[in-house]
Chain A
Amino acid sequence: MLKATHDVTQSSWGGGISPFAVGWNKLMMWLFIITDGLLFAGFLASYGFARLSSSQWPDQLEVFHLWFIALMTFILISSSATMATAVRGAERGHRATVLRFLLLTIVGGLVFLGMQAYEWTTLIREGARLYSNPWGVPQFTGYFFLTTGFHGSHVFTGVLILSITAVRWKKGLSSAEGVELTGLYWHFVDLVWVFIFTLFYLI
């Protein structure tokens, strides 16, 4: 009987005292990521609705500099790889590696933000506004500024959290799990960009 109970709780669907086999703080981070993901899902579903109901939509290749956006994507993906390296370093107790890769991740985030600011400035100078633009479909820039703006604010928040984590790690106040939670948030920001890049800039 005891063995049977043990087998059930150890199986993929077993409950037990820790049904997801992670600590409470990591579970809370995952639940936060799900809810935050639904925020962007709402934006993108609404954007899909706008695309379906519009008889015309600006050609993104004429509006955006695609290779510039691809470079932004490359930088965010690279910062995710440096973050993953920092998380692994924390698990292994490689203190200097963690700090070095956290700083590289921060630099990646800052470069991404700088490039986004440049992209926004260029478009605004070309006449793009929240409710109007020179490309004939007013809601195009509405969705653009709303979606990329929310994502940008997430990147900015991520850079702040990364900076706090780096300082705490240097002082010996942050645990390996603390670095891992910061990493989960940062990867989520990268994950959201994968969807925005494809659905907004390419399709």
Chain B
Amino acid sequence: MSKNLPTAGYALYWRIWFLLLILTVIMVFVDQVSLPRLALVWILVLAMLMKASLIAGYFMHLRFEKLTLAVIVGVGILATAAALFLLIAPDGIRILKLSSG
């Protein structure tokens, strides 16, 4: 068990659950109103990363683990996934341009 876990009871998890619920409802509402595409994507990605941080940080106790563990998880997944996408994204755009014109 994580050494730095606060001694508070179960309430912490249900507060996080409520925050996740609110974020989900906001995301679904935002998706159904007519916002500019770029603004919509930014809002949704931001909310997605907030939800992911809450789950990893509090439910998975990463916030209370040693910083080195949080870093290998963060870099291991997020940075590698971002690098993977950024490496193939230009080709996707190139294919779109070739096929449309």
- Interface of A toward B, CB cutoff 8 Å: 12-13, 19-22, 27, 30, 33-34, 37-38, 41-42, 44-46, 48-55, 61, 66-67, 70, 73-74, 77-78, 80-81, 83-85, 88-89, 91, 176-177, 180, 183-184, 187-188, 190-191, 194-195, 197-199, 202-203
A31, chain B: closest CB distance, angstroms? 8
- Interface of B toward A, CB cutoff 8 Å: 1, 3, 5, 9-10, 13-14, 16-17, 20-21, 24-25, 27-28, 31-32, 40-41, 44-45, 47-48, 51-52, 55-56, 58-60, 65-69, 72-73, 76-77, 80-81, 84-85, 88-89, 91-93, 95-96, 99-100
Total inter-chain residue pairs, C-beta < 8 Å = 150
- What's the dominant secondary structure at chain B's contact region? helix
Contact of A61 among B21, B32, B81 (CB under 8 A): B32
Query: Given that A49-B89, A187-B60 are known contacts, is A198 also in contact with B47, CB under 8 Å in the complex?
Result: yes
- What's the dominant secondary structure at chain A's contact region? helix
Quick check: B24 and A83 within 8 Å, CB to CB?
no
Please give 18 more A-B residue pairs, beta carbons under 8 A apart, in addition to A74-B21, A77-B17: A12-B66, A22-B69, A37-B81, A44-B85, A45-B85, A48-B85, A48-B89, A49-B89, A52-B96, A53-B91, A53-B99, A54-B96, A77-B24, A180-B1, A188-B60, A195-B48, A202-B27, A203-B40
Quick check: B69 and A30 within 8 Å, CB to CB?
yes
Chain A residue nearest to B87 in the complex (CB): A45
